[in-house]
Structure 1
């Protein structure tokens, strides 16, 4: 049925009766209003959290913090008799071997180690090593191990997988310690 003012049927919409007020969005859609309010609050929380995380809470605008340089030991410091002379710390590495745990034709090689703190102070250890193929003399794997806060007389034991090319015979592998460092633990 065409509207009397427009032959195509389109015209001005009918007006509400006199004295009738148009309802607000909030009254017409109370559930949607609640979800919109929650979305605004959640967005504010997320943005606030992102700002705090990016500035690290120090107001630095996300700038990197630089860690203080470690203090170098005083050259005037004398060694106590209970501390082994420098270079002797390698003796703390009491076991360092490759272990073949291969099964059902799948290579599974592991490095096992033991470090015994023979000094008079709590120590941290950093051990770097290479696994070498004795046929070619080439390094096929390298890694480093870290042991923290080993007390005097305590033994730290550990293991880690050694990943080499599949089919490399275990009998041709040799492990070499390339660097060993013991430092005082704080």
Structure 2
């Protein structure tokens, strides 16, 4: 199966968030209201973390997220991430997206990774964009 995502930027909207992308540990949640929490559209990413669903000797690591649309219009979100081990080596990366999130609505999602373990892995959001959904 091939999935193609097209990102349309509405006139007057930025294609990049002007807020920093803090790292999150596999079990940490990005909580609104903390001093290190970015403002603006990036604040809509309420949590983004690894979930280790391994059992019976099989590795099964997923990324899971919660988005809350704090804007006044239906929105699409796309963000890029990387997984970095304790030595600073990137061991995984990907892009995630949520579409058609209504104002005030919360959306949750999950996606499998190719990671073999979640121990000692930090997630970094490398870009984050919210665009109007039509």
Same fold (TM over 0.5): yes
Spell out the pairing of 1:33-182 with structure 2 (5 A cutoff): 72-73=11-12, 88-134=40-86, 136-164=87-115, 166=116, 169-182=117-130
Shift of 1:116: 0.5
Query: Gaps spanning 5+ residues in structure 1: where?
Result: 1-68, 75-86
Report SS of the residue matched to 2:94. strand
The residue matched to 2:119 in structure 1 has which SS? helix
What secondary structure sits across from 1:72 in the alignment?
A: coil
Displacement of 1:71 in angstroms is: 6.0
TM-superposed deviation, 1:174 = 1.2
Structure 1 residues 106, 125: CA separation in 2 closer, same or farther (over 3 Å shift)?
same
Which structure shows the higher strand fraction?
2
How many angstroms apart in 2 are the aligned matches of 1:96 and 1:71?
A: 26
Q: TM-score, normalised by structure 1?
A: 0.51
**How many residue pairs were aligned?**
102
| Structure with greater contact order relative to length (CA < 8 Å, sep ≥ 6) | 2
Mind listing any 5+ residue stretches in structure 2 that lack a counterpart? 1-7, 14-38
Report the Cα distance in structure 2 between the residues aligned to 1:93 and 1:70, rounded to whole angstroms: 19
Q: Which runs of 4+ in 1 moved over 3 A?
A: none
RMSD between aligned residues: 1.9
Pair member with larger Rg: 1
